Structure 1
Amino acid sequence: ALDAANARREGQPKPTRSASAGIVDLDESGRCPRCSHAVSLVALGAQDRAALRSSILKLAAIDGIRKLQSLANFSRWMRRNRARGVRFDYVLDGPNVAYSKQNFVNGRFHVVQIALVKQHLESMG
């Protein structure tokens, strides 16, 4: 591996690392406009989907029967829509959007953040 110590021993420049975070729109090329990294699609097979669903249900059950029932209701609603031919490009998790970037002492739930994300997605068609 080429880490900083090995690079110095081999007379090579120290590798540099940088990171940035933000919301970006990917075009058809699948490349990030910030870093040019190619984003790959992860397709889950039936077995992987079933395992993921099971894990999510177990996590919901930890929080009690009401959370598990709510998740089951949402799942039934999604299946009914799919059966009617209704497809969704996005499903927004409102609480996670509203709490985004609020992990500081007086951070709070911002409903306006949900509206902004919804508006942005709608503007994209």
Structure 2
Amino acid sequence: MSSTAITALHRGRAVDPGQVLSGPLCGVGLSWLEPGESILLEADEVEHTVFVTAGGGLATTEDTSEDTTGDAVEADEEVVEVPLAEGTALTLPLGGEVTIVAGDAGMEYFHAVLAVPRGGTR
């Protein structure tokens, strides 16, 4: 018997794929942000990927640079803004942080969360 699962993703409903998959994918969901609404994504022990399915918005983060030893160094805390439109994907690797703000029409997005093994680095 197959362990295949078919799940209808409705806005705001997160799914735990760990019930079927054995890989690092630990959460998926389809969400909606009202115009001007924001979320903060932090990649402390997990990584994130977001795919905009409708509407649009803006992703903001502080620019960081790496010195010659590979250590992150603040680059005068310059804020980087990236427009998000339908069909845009955003990935947030371990250690990153981003704020997503919905535009005037709101924003629907598919969000996947991936577990990172303890001590895992890129």
Of the two, which has the highest radius of gyration?
1
Fold-level similarity (TM above 0.5) = no
Higher helix share: 1
Larger RCO, structures 1/2 (Cα 8 Å, 6+ apart)? 2
TM-score with structure 2 length normalisation? 0.20
Higher strand share: 2
